[in-house]
Amino acid sequence: GAAHLNAKLILAQMIKESGFGVSGLSASHNNFGGLKASDAQIKAWSTGKTPQGREDIAGWVSMGTTEDFKTEKEYLAFVKAEKKKGNKSYLTKSVVNGQEVWTANLGQPFLTFETAQKGIDHQVRWWSKFGGIKEGDDAKEQIKKIQNAGYATSVGYRDSIINNYYTPIVTP
């Protein structure tokens, strides 16, 4: 269940992913967490079917994104898998905090939702189902588990979420 999830941490993650709710994905498609569509979901929708158990999802949209990798080997494996799907990626290599980072820039399939509530509910379900979060896990452990479950590859992702978590939200 979702009872042991940290609501403030989920909000901090959605702030990061959606740019405080103003990104194109969140504003136009009610996806505040950057949730991607799976290959199986896309295949079902392309045949006119709704993936079983996914009636809350309206569909998917391709949008630009980046994926970071700590080694060239990881990057090349990702590019190979994306090529099989017909996706092109463009490489950027940089150094972040003294570590080489390979970044793939490409279009990816993101989930769309009819309403903001459906998007938020789906985000909470994702954390509950795939995060491996247990009662008693603190904020840092929860976001670490979410990233380890494959949620984000961005270097500095965890630190950014934790910063959002501990920074008070001030409104004018």
Percent of the chain with pLDDT over 70: 97
Answer yes or no: is pLDDT of 29 > 70: yes
Q: What is the average per-residue pLDDT within 11-34?
A: 93
**Local confidence band at 171 (pLDDT 50, 70, 90 cut-offs):** low
- DSSP lists the bridge partners of residue 107 as 64
Chain center to CA of 10: 12
Residues 6 or more apart in contact with residue 129 via CB below 8 angstroms: none
The CA distance from 114 to 121, in Å, is: 12
- 32 touches 26 (CB < 8 A): yes
pLDDT, tens digit, for every residue of 48-98?
Answer: 877 777 778 888 899 988 888 888 898 889 888 888 887 788 888 888 888
pLDDT(172) > 60: no
